[in-house]
Structure 1
Amino acid sequence: MKLKTTSLLIAGTLFGAAMLPAQANNEAMADLLKVLRDKGTISAEDYNMLKNAAAADQEKTEAAQAEVKKQVEEATANMPVIETDGKLVIADREGNWEFQPIGRVMWDAIDTDEDDSGAEDFHGTELRRARLGFEGSIYDWGYKFEADFATGGNSGSDSEVSIKDAFISYGNKFNDLAYDVKLGQSHIAYGLNTKISSKYMTFMDRPWFADSTVSPARESGAVFSLAEKDYRWLVSAGLTNGEIEGGSTDSNGSTFSARASFVPYMQDKNHLIQVGLGYLTKGGGDDFRFRQRLVSHKDATRHLDTSTFEIDGADAYTVDAMGVFGSFHAMAEYNDFTAERTAGSDVDITGYAVEAGYFLTGESLKWKKGFTSGISPNSSAGAWQIAARFETLEIDDSANSDEADKWTVGLNYYPTKNTRLMLNYDKVTDLKVDGSSVNYEPSALKFRAQAYW
């Protein structure tokens, strides 16, 4: 049986239109029917019949889609919102609460050269950081807990797990001001390099003075901060009592710390200058010791070492500056710490570090709330950064004086916003131990692969 040409054309028109999305479906059908009518292939009566049928189908389709959309909205109305852009954040739709698992992994490969100092070289790998935790908020209240499962954590202690952040906070806004108070263990109000997260540091290791006994990082107590809403200025202060170890602190003297920063120039967040200063004072009755490795976290010997002594107290201050000018950034910090011996003369430990970096692929160092944060590559090929730093530290002690200078150069590659590969070369260029110059200059070549969430 032969089919009429008209029937074939109509069937083909309906089949072709059915393969298109709903709206395009009806538009395509209407156009084809017009062509068939104008060419006389179908009659005006057939055209009107088919046109009306298509319109009815469209109304049914739109009604069905609207009903499905309504049912989906009703079913998900009380479900939380999940954000997955480089992190996993679960929050309610009204913004009253949120919860986020956090963590970081940093794996290092290290090759040191003690340059005939007598200490043993290190050639191997280290799991520098392996942190897991969570943070979140409930209305104006916040919380955070993070522990480091890498052996020794950051401090190099024998403990296999060290507590980093463990606090409850309350924060809100008053007119154009933002205030916040943390209760528990958190960063104290002191120092720039000390407080910049290891996730965002330009180099694998901080300057010698940072995150040490002369520029403490985290302690347990209360820390209060007040800032302009865009953080062009920030002031903070804290009263703390040592770092939590084994679930508690054990310090006879408390630490009072204070820090202020302000931005005298800001074109935008990629073109600005910030200056800051900090002060801390510690009570007496505790043992004190400053000692530092020179070129890597795995150095067998700490050439810079005051040995242990009891203090009546200590005072310190720091001055810092940071500038971001597009792809270029510079940072400098000076730290002066004076420990008052219970018996004997005071010990003065001073140090400074100056660094500069440049993104070859056009990105900019991210400034956030007075410190630095992560960067997002401009393309799927990732971001490349080169950097250099010079630092010096001097221990002025009549019984044991040390002094050292060091250069560090680095190359960083960011495949994504949450991953980074780092290559550093450290070289000590001047070293005095126990008041005498030595003829060795340790160095190290270091590589890191890191990820955080």
Structure 2
Amino acid sequence: MLPAQANNEAMADLLKVLRDKGTISAEDYNMLKNAAAADQEKTEAAQAEVKKQVAEATADMPKITTDGKIKVESRDGAWSFQPIGRVMWDAIDSDADDLADDAQGTELRRARLGFSGSIYDWGYKFEADFAGGDASIKDAYVSYGNKFSNGVRYGVKMGQSHVPFGLNTKISSKYMSFMDRPLFADTDWSPARQSGVVADLAADDYRWTFSAGLTNGGLSGGETTDNGSTFAARASFVPYMASKNQLIQIGAGYLTRGGGDGFDDDQRVVSHIDNTKPLELVVAPSADDGSDAFTIDAMAIFGSFHAMAEYLDYTNDTTAGDIDTTGYAIEAGYFLTGESLKWKKGYTSGITPKSKYGAWQIAARFENMEIDEISGNATSGDEADKFTLGLNYYPTKNTRLMLNYDKITDLKIDGVSRDEEPSALKFRAQAFW
């Protein structure tokens, strides 16, 4: 049905034609034109009344957002609730090159469900991962946030949340350019989530941020098992920003961990289903005197091109001496279809394809991780160089298909150089909400 205004304009044009052709008299034309104008006024008044009644009837009803997510919130923004989740299914063909048995197969890498929301200035989030068959708690916290009179944002999280330390560890798996993080990220060298308190400060536009947290290990069975505490802090600032698609950001973090709990971490090198973990460091609780670490990072976005780099230095203080672990990763990416990596609150976020046919991205990364060799510690002295090539296709802003090729170009195990160069071809289908 045409709007009332369009109907009246069409009627007026028709009456003019009939008058000009002599079908109706000028007197009849004026009479019919006035009648049409009166009908228009009645129609507009009726429409205004309907709008008023609808507004009054829905004034107390919640607002529902369905653009890539389902979010329910009050009209005044006082409260909100949103179900969240992600599914990541991988298919992997890994060539261990005689280092161990080859690994081929599929894996449900992540299968998360949860919810988040707010009640006035208070917030909450809970998310668990069911990919391993049992629930693993990721985020579980209550938060509070507001602004000072000068516009500076502040907030605090109480519960399990991200440790304010590394850049690659903090970037969500939903938005990473590659299927796997760098070798040092999301490990005990750069821990992802722990239970405790994290406080944040940030400029209103997030051109600078500062976070600090005091945590006590990750939740397991509803409680933490570590006795030592971890203090971590991270800051970032943007020295150059022409827009959110033209910027340079610099960041740095510091972490210190109490002793007595020991240290035990190991890493696969080319895929999550590798049959061996050649990068390993074990420190017994009796020899553990704590740890200190720092990280520096940089991110640049210039239109469709982006680059990112991070360096980590982690020192385990032991009774036998210090063990220094270093790692770095340098990556670059480009959107072939004109999109830009999305910068949000000092990290990266999702992209929206410009075309109904989706978006295409290519990316490459080189990285290194090295664990010092120390006399009497047979598990140290490991090192690996790796490069990764990636091709990503985004059918929509909530779905992505990924193809990665990883290859080790230099490997040292227990201080001995090895000839093996493991590699892997990996595919992922992911969706999130």
Tell me if both proteins adopt one fold, taking TM over 0.5 as the criterion: yes
Question: Which of 400, 411, 415 lines up with 2:391 in the alignment?
Answer: 411
Aligned 8 A contact 2:373 2:414 in 1: no
Q: Percent identity?
A: 74
Amino acid at match of 2:395: P
Partner of 2:400: 420
Amino acid at match of 1:329: H
Once the two structures are TM-superposed, the CA of residue 380 in structure 1 deviates from its matched residue by 1.2
Question: Which of 367, 387, 402 lines up with 2:382 in the alignment?
Answer: 402
Which runs of no fewer than 5 residues in structure 2 stay unpaired? none
Question: Which of 124, 128, 135 lines up with 1:161 in the alignment?
Answer: 135
Cα distance between partner residues in 2 of 1:30 and 1:352: 74
Cα distance between partner residues in 2 of 1:44 and 1:373: 66
Secondary structure at the counterpart of residue 46 of structure 1: helix
- Count of residues in Structure 1 that have an aligned counterpart in Structure 2: 426
Q: Give the 3 Å change call, closer, same or farther, for CA 302–25 of structure 1 in structure 2.
A: same
Is the aligned partner of 1:98 residue 2:80? yes
Aligned 8 A contact 1:346 1:397 in 2: no
Once the two structures are TM-superposed, the CA of residue 29 in structure 1 deviates from its matched residue by 1.8
Once the two structures are TM-superposed, the CA of residue 428 in structure 1 deviates from its matched residue by 0.3
Is the aligned partner of 1:179 residue 2:161? no
Amino acid at match of 2:278: H
Partner of 2:269: 294
Amino acid at match of 2:384: A
Listed as ranges, the matches of 1:309-348 within 5 Å are: 309-310=284-285, 311-341=288-318, 343-348=319-324
Secondary structure at the counterpart of residue 306 of structure 1: strand
The TM-score normalised by the length of structure 2 is 0.95
Cα distance between partner residues in 1 of 2:21 and 2:421: 93
Amino acid at match of 2:396: T
Once the two structures are TM-superposed, the CA of residue 30 in structure 1 deviates from its matched residue by 2.3
Question: Which of 115, 122, 129 lines up with 1:148 in the alignment?
Answer: 129
Question: Which of 338, 343, 357 lines up with 1:362 in the alignment?
Answer: 338
Secondary structure at the counterpart of residue 222 of structure 1: strand
Amino acid at match of 1:233: W
Is the aligned partner of 1:378 residue 2:359? no
Question: Which of 217, 221, 231 lines up with 1:246 in the alignment?
Answer: 221
Range that drifts further, 343-352 or 316-325:
343-352
Partner of 1:56: 38
Is the aligned partner of 1:393 residue 2:375? no
Cα distance between partner residues in 1 of 2:349 and 2:432: 12
Cα distance between partner residues in 2 of 1:306 and 1:377: 42
Partner of 1:10: none
Once the two structures are TM-superposed, the CA of residue 201 in structure 1 deviates from its matched residue by 0.6
Cα distance between partner residues in 2 of 1:216 and 1:33: 77
Q: Give the 3 Å change call, closer, same or farther, for CA 353–20 of structure 1 in structure 2.
A: closer
Once the two structures are TM-superposed, the CA of residue 84 in structure 1 deviates from its matched residue by 1.6
Secondary structure at the counterpart of residue 194 of structure 1: helix
Once the two structures are TM-superposed, the CA of residue 133 in structure 1 deviates from its matched residue by 0.7
Range that drifts further, 52-61 or 345-354:
52-61
Cα distance between partner residues in 2 of 1:330 and 1:48: 71
For 1:121-172, what per-residue CA distance to the aligned partner results, in whole angstroms no more than 9, with x for missing partners?
11111010011111111111111111101017xxxxxxx1100010011111
Secondary structure at the counterpart of residue 59 of structure 1: helix
Once the two structures are TM-superposed, the CA of residue 20 in structure 1 deviates from its matched residue by 4.6
Question: Which of 271, 280, 300 lines up with 2:246 in the alignment?
Answer: 271
Partner of 1:132: 113
For 1:90-148, what per-residue CA distance to the aligned partner results, in whole angstroms no more than 9, with x for missing partners?
1111111111111111110000001011x221111101001111111111111111110
Aligned 8 A contact 1:281 1:314 in 2: yes
Aligned 8 A contact 1:105 1:450 in 2: yes
Cα distance between partner residues in 1 of 2:292 and 2:3: 73
Aligned 8 A contact 2:300 2:307 in 1: yes
Partner of 1:219: 194
Once the two structures are TM-superposed, the CA of residue 53 in structure 1 deviates from its matched residue by 3.3
Listed as ranges, the matches of 1:4-15 within 5 Å are: none
Secondary structure at the counterpart of residue 70 of structure 1: helix
Once the two structures are TM-superposed, the CA of residue 60 in structure 1 deviates from its matched residue by 2.9
Secondary structure at the counterpart of residue 120 of structure 1: coil
Aligned 8 A contact 2:256 2:293 in 1: yes
Cα distance between partner residues in 2 of 1:26 and 1:403: 79
Cα distance between partner residues in 2 of 1:417 and 1:92: 25
Q: Give the 3 Å change call, closer, same or farther, for CA 96–437 of structure 1 in structure 2.
A: same
Once the two structures are TM-superposed, the CA of residue 35 in structure 1 deviates from its matched residue by 2.4
Once the two structures are TM-superposed, the CA of residue 185 in structure 1 deviates from its matched residue by 0.4
Q: Give the 3 Å change call, closer, same or farther, for CA 56–232 of structure 1 in structure 2.
A: closer
Which runs of no fewer than 5 residues in structure 1 stay unpaired? 1-18, 153-159
The TM-score normalised by the length of structure 1 is 0.91
Aligned 8 A contact 2:332 2:363 in 1: yes
Cα distance between partner residues in 2 of 1:23 and 1:210: 62
Cα distance between partner residues in 2 of 1:213 and 1:293: 14
Task: Give the CA RMSD over aligned residues.
Answer: 1.4
Aligned 8 A contact 1:143 1:169 in 2: yes
Partner of 2:17: 35
Once the two structures are TM-superposed, the CA of residue 46 in structure 1 deviates from its matched residue by 3.3
